[in-house]
Amino acid sequence: MELSKCSLEMLREMGLRSVEELFADVPKEIRTGGLKLPEGMSELELRRELGTMLSSNRTSSARPCFLGAGVYNHFIPAAVKAVVSRSEFVTAYTPYQPEISQGMLQSLFEYQSYMAELTAMDVVNCSMYDASTALGEAVLMANRISGGDKFLISRAVSPEKKAVAALYARGADIKIIEVAYEPTTGLVDLSDLKSRLTEGVSGFYFETPNFLGPIETRCSEIREVLGNRTMVVGVNPMALALLKPPGEMGADIVIGDAQVFGTPMNLGGPMIGIFGCKSDHVRKMPGRLIGMTTDLEGRRSFCMTLQTREQHIRRSKATSNICTNEALLAVTAAAYLAVVGRSGLRQIAAKNVENMKSLTSRIGAVKGFKAPHFKAPHFNEFVVKSDIPAARLHDELLMRGIQGGWVLEGAFPELKHGTLYATTEMHTRQDHDRLLTVLEALR
Amino acid sequence: MRYHQAVHEVPVIFEGCEKAPAEGGFDPTVGGALPRELLRSELNLPDLAERDVVKHFTNLSQMNFGVDNGLYPLGSCTMKYNPKICDEVVSWSSVTDIHPLQDPSTIQGALKLMYELERMLCEIGGVDAVTLQPAAGAHGEYTGIHLVKAYHEAKGETRKEIVLPDTAHGTNPASAAMVGYDVLELPSKEGCVDVEALKSAVSKDTAAFMLTNPNTLGIFEKDVIEIAGIVHDAGALLYYDGANLNAIMGKTSPGKMNFDIVHFNLHKTFATPHGGGGPGAGPVGVKSSLQDFLPVPMIVFDGQKYSLDSSRPKSIGKVRAFFGNFAVMVRAYAYIKMQGGEGLQAASENAVLNSNYIKEKLKGDLELPYGNLRKHEFVLSGKPLKSKGVRTLDFGKRLLDYGYHAPTVYFPIIVDEAIMIEPTETETKETLDRFIEVCKAIIAEDPELLKAAPQNTARRRLDEAKAARDMIFSWKAFEKKSAGKA
């Protein structure tokens, strides 16, 4: 590698002849002698090659996609992208120096404020990696709050989340026990829940709407049944524009994913885990918190606070190992909510319900299909049962350029021929028509 | 040449929200297709004009400092310049508008990119297989320690302890503890691993030894092969914290140093922007003896098409939903492709050159403990300032006044008044010379100026104790507190 004039000058000033002298402490026996990677590309070459490579991806903008299952396709106003791509936000590190980082800190405080309002929880941290890891952390936190060595999780939870929660629980020697859902409503089976509340159970996690679509209608009964055990509720924050918030139903911890607020699907990453709790539990909480304070001149200011919970101070005694989180997505969520406003958000959420209503009734009207499978209120996601195997339905749709819902029977064998469909404000009447045309041809 | 950050009066976005009734107000019948008893009765969010929202966040952004604003020598964070093309490609619809559960036949481009990124990371890390699933460095550590656990359990062994040096990043012990391990912190000797102490510390209870090389002092642990031997002879595994990988690309690799498990920080070494705290990505690479334990799904290629393999009975399962932070991976892929093998090696060489250059110029003004040669970062002690009644904290704050982000301070803890500087390879000699000049000027300045710093930033020093005491984490809490006072 030829050195630049400046590099040579720097070496000369240091009394060295080559950069190699700076690696004199790396023993010969462990030298690799370079990297076996192709030569570098120009920006133009990269753009061409990457463009070609990625062009084989079939996008939701090119053809209708009815997948949800935790990642949703929502509209993103141009103003959101514009403000969030400000490089002062994008290229900053964690705001360790608050005096020079007020922009990020105030934006994160605003994110926390938006989430606290939507969920009606006292405290929401400034993000976890995604909802699945938020659940993992919630299992650990429930254990810190209520003690015990077991934790209950509703069966109507995504297999991805269950897998992640299982891993987090395993690390802490906590046993996860599943609670059944009612076969007709898809809601938490209260009698099964009661029967599983044995000694050592620290808490229970359920969702509303749950993974299979139903909105839980008996949260207060669940709260009562749990007694002083920790109640962890999973939400779709978009649905909270309309629905009674978990904070009003006695939740101790609330988790969810704020990807729906301004972040594209991006093949499922990055996402942004919401993590909120009651103020009593704040010192047991994982993740960064932004607090309000004042500066020397008495001006309102923001900084990271209660850091004694965190790894860089407490090391092995920290409440979590999390350091890097999803800060920029939190700013995105705040900017999204600011742009759409309360009225806009409620209209968007209502449009989701309307599309769900319309699509379920149209699918349900086709012979050989039932939608929604569960007798319960839904938001924008629901189970479709078909006379034909779900995998065949999937293939038939794919052949006609439609990405159908998620085939359930692998993870939920009891839902034979079941598929999980999502529809958002992004679907037009024509998108629904295209799906219906195929379904009708199949009957 | 002084720096002045913008100071805007930006109210919290909720401020005045109730006073100005939102257009249309709160209509509880919106969402009327849902049963009334499920609907909420209030939601105090502001309705704002787009114009005002853009003004709000634009002004806030001007009160924030990123790499694009200037030198960001935050040690251990590798705040290098992020090429703009990497941000542009992730705005393409072929990246943004794909769903993780799509039929694999419809995301072949994305799978190919991830597959190739895994192979490139294998080459850089000297490992045999990589998972891209972890969302951050600490999450990579967490994944890696689960792999450690699975490895020993598969051999029918229960080992209780993870050993690491006292200079380790805080995430190391925290990650180990989260997987249920006891943590043993080993005092360093002359800034490096105390080989004799390590020998007596490891036992049949040791599951792994975690190390970053170069270590957090920027010193290359040249006894690494002996260390690996000691660890492996005890039947334990060697874990590489990849936070400092930017020092060694093309020169050596964790695999070549006999590490078994390594995490990469794509947001450090591979130039993906840090977003004010995230997203990052923390892929984990392993030697072949551990690859069966990696998270599912694995991306496989049969020579024609890419598919997902989830039937791996020894796998630890999943550490995160879906594939990981895909948009971050695309940026890192673009960066590596543009650099090429030689470019990455040059990046490490220049990072080490820049770091040593500043160190040489400043070591006479502040103290440099433990030998001389450093890699991509170095740690000075601010002890000499103490006689003037000035602390490292003051020095860092004063740098802000000159338009530099402060270095990492008070870490690692074995250096009194630590100042950890990592300039990265993307800064020019001119920038470094100016920074050196400013550091020297600050050291000579009136101590009162340092103690009163910063003064040119959007805020002066904060009352951090008040933040911890008041516990105001939301606008709602602020209003409640204000109402209580009134």
pLDDT tens digits, residue range A336-385? 999 999 999 999 999 999 999 999 999 999 999 999 999 999 999 999 99
> So what's the pLDDT on residue B27?
78
Per-residue pLDDT at B29 exceeds 90: no
CB-based contact, B472 to chain A, within 8 Å? yes
Instruction: Say if residue B195 is exposed, middle or buried (CB neighbours under 10 Å; 0-12, 13-18, 19+).
Output: middle
Query: Among A59, A111, A46, which residue's Cα sits nearest to residue A264?
Result: A59
Instruction: Quote the ipTM score.
Output: 0.97
Q: Which residues contact A261 (CB under 8 A, 6 or more apart)?
A: A74, A237, A238, A332, A333, A336, A337
Q: What SS3 class is residue A20?
A: helix
Q: How far A164 CA sits from the closest chain B CA (Å)?
A: 5
Report the residue from A35, A160, A403 with minimal CB separation from B123.
Answer: A35
Indicate yes or no: CB of A71 within 8 angstroms of CB of B99: yes
- Mean of all residue pLDDT scores within chain B: 95
**H/E stretch holding B286:** strand B284-286
More confident: A317 or A110: A110
**Nearest 10 degrees: CA dihedral of B48, B52, B55, B61?**
-10
The DSSP 8-state label assigned to residue B135 in this structure reads -
pLDDT above 70: percentage of residues in chain A = 99
- Mean of all residue pLDDT scores within chain A: 96
Nearest-angstrom CA–CA distance, B22 and B28: 14
Nearest-angstrom CA–CA distance, A123 and B326: 29
Over residues B321-334, the pLDDT tens digits come to 999 999 999 999 99
List chain A residues with CB under 8 Å of B74: 93, 96
Structure tokens at A224: 């009562």
Q: How far A384 CA sits from the closest chain B CA (Å)?
A: 17
Report the residue from B47, B61, B319 with minimal CB separation from A89.
Answer: B61
Report the residue from A47, A113, A331 with minimal CB separation from B475.
Answer: A113
Nearest-angstrom CA–CA distance, A7 and B429: 8
Q: How far B384 CA sits from the closest chain A CA (Å)?
A: 23
List chain A residues with CB under 8 Å of B79: 93
Report the residue from B40, B61, B274 with minimal CB separation from A245.
Answer: B40
Indicate yes or no: CB of B95 within 8 angstroms of CB of A32: no
Report the residue from A54, A67, A327 with minimal CB separation from B275.
Answer: A327
Q: What SS3 class is residue B298?
A: strand
Query: Among B192, B133, B186, which residue's Cα sits nearest to residue B163?
Result: B186
CB-based contact, B207 to chain A, within 8 Å? no
> So what's the pLDDT on residue B22?
46
Per-residue pLDDT at A324 exceeds 80: yes
Over residues B416-432, the pLDDT tens digits come to 999 999 999 999 999 99
Q: Are B429 and A9 in contact (CB under 8 A)?
A: yes
Hey, CA dihedral for B312, B317, B321, B326, is it positive or negative?
negative
Indicate yes or no: CB of A321 within 8 angstroms of CB of B138: yes
Q: What SS3 class is residue B226?
A: helix
List chain B residues with CB under 8 Å of A86: 57-58, 61
Nearest-angstrom CA–CA distance, A22 and A16: 9
Pick the residue from chain A with its C-alpha nearest to B183: A316
Per-residue pLDDT at B486 exceeds 80: no
Query: Among A230, A224, A174, which residue's Cα sits nearest to residue A194?
Result: A224
Per-residue pLDDT at B320 exceeds 70: yes
Over residues B46-73, the pLDDT tens digits come to 999 999 999 999 999 999 999 999 999 9
Over residues A296-312, the pLDDT tens digits come to 999 999 999 998 888 88
> So what's the pLDDT on residue B33?
85
> So what's the pLDDT on residue A310?
84
Q: How far B444 CA sits from the closest chain A CA (Å)?
A: 23
Q: What SS3 class is residue B153?
A: helix
> So what's the pLDDT on residue B8?
95
pLDDT above 70: percentage of residues in chain B = 98
Indicate yes or no: CB of A57 within 8 angstroms of CB of B98: yes
Q: What SS3 class is residue B420?
A: strand
Per-residue pLDDT at B20 exceeds 50: no
Please give the radius of gyration of chain A, using alpha carbons only, rounded to the nearest integer.
Answer: 25
Report the residue from B109, B462, B468 with minimal CB separation from A99.
Answer: B462
Over residues A402-424, the pLDDT tens digits come to 999 999 999 999 999 999 999 99
Report the residue from B113, B279, B316 with minimal CB separation from A53.
Answer: B113
Nearest-angstrom CA–CA distance, A203 and A223: 11
Hey, CA dihedral for B155, B159, B164, B169, is it positive or negative?
positive
Over residues A171-215, the pLDDT tens digits come to 999 999 999 999 999 999 999 999 999 999 999 999 999 999 999
**H/E stretch holding B72:** none
Pick the residue from chain A with its C-alpha nearest to B76: A93
Q: What SS3 class is residue B307?
A: strand
Pick the residue from chain A with its C-alpha nearest to B258: A30
Pick the residue from chain B with its C-alpha nearest to A38: B340
Query: Among B139, B161, B140, which residue's Cα sits nearest to residue B149?
Result: B161
Q: Are B64 and A104 in contact (CB under 8 A)?
A: yes
Pick the residue from chain B with its C-alpha nearest to A337: B45
Report the residue from B54, B267, B408 with minimal CB separation from A324.
Answer: B267
Q: What is the mean pLDDT of the segment spanning B299-308? A: 97
Q: What SS3 class is residue A283?
A: helix
Per-residue pLDDT at A328 exceeds 50: yes
Q: Are A84 and B56 in contact (CB under 8 A)?
A: no
Structure tokens at B431: 């920038």
A vs B, Cβ pairs < 8 A, gives 638
Distances (CA, A) of A247 to A232, A240, A427: 11, 11, 31
List chain B residues with CB under 8 Å of A316: 173-174, 176-177, 183
The residue type of A387 is D
Query: Among B193, B169, B213, B219, which residue's Cα sits nearest to residue B355?
Result: B219
Q: Which of residues 19-58 of B touch A (CB under 8 A)?
A: 22-24, 26-27, 30-35, 37-40, 43-48, 50, 53-54, 56-58
List chain A residues with CB under 8 Å of B177: 316-318, 321
CB-based contact, B175 to chain A, within 8 Å? yes
> So what's the pLDDT on residue B315?
98
List chain B residues with CB under 8 Å of A265: 96-100
Report the residue from B149, B323, B430 with minimal CB separation from A268.
Answer: B323
Structure tokens at B118: 């895994």
Per-residue pLDDT at B455 exceeds 60: yes
Confidence of residue B1 (pLDDT cuts 50, 70, 90): low
Q: Are B419 and B396 in contact (CB under 8 A)?
A: yes
Q: Are A226 and A218 in contact (CB under 8 A)?
A: no
Q: What is the mean pLDDT of the segment spanning A426-442? A: 96
Nearest-angstrom CA–CA distance, A166 and A135: 10
List chain B residues with CB under 8 Å of A296: 460-463
pLDDT above 90: percentage of residues in chain B = 95
Distances (CA, A) of B7 to A299, A342, A356, B285: 11, 29, 47, 45
> So what's the pLDDT on residue B18?
58
Structure tokens at B66: 């990123």
> So what's the pLDDT on residue B214?
97
Per-residue pLDDT at B21 exceeds 50: no
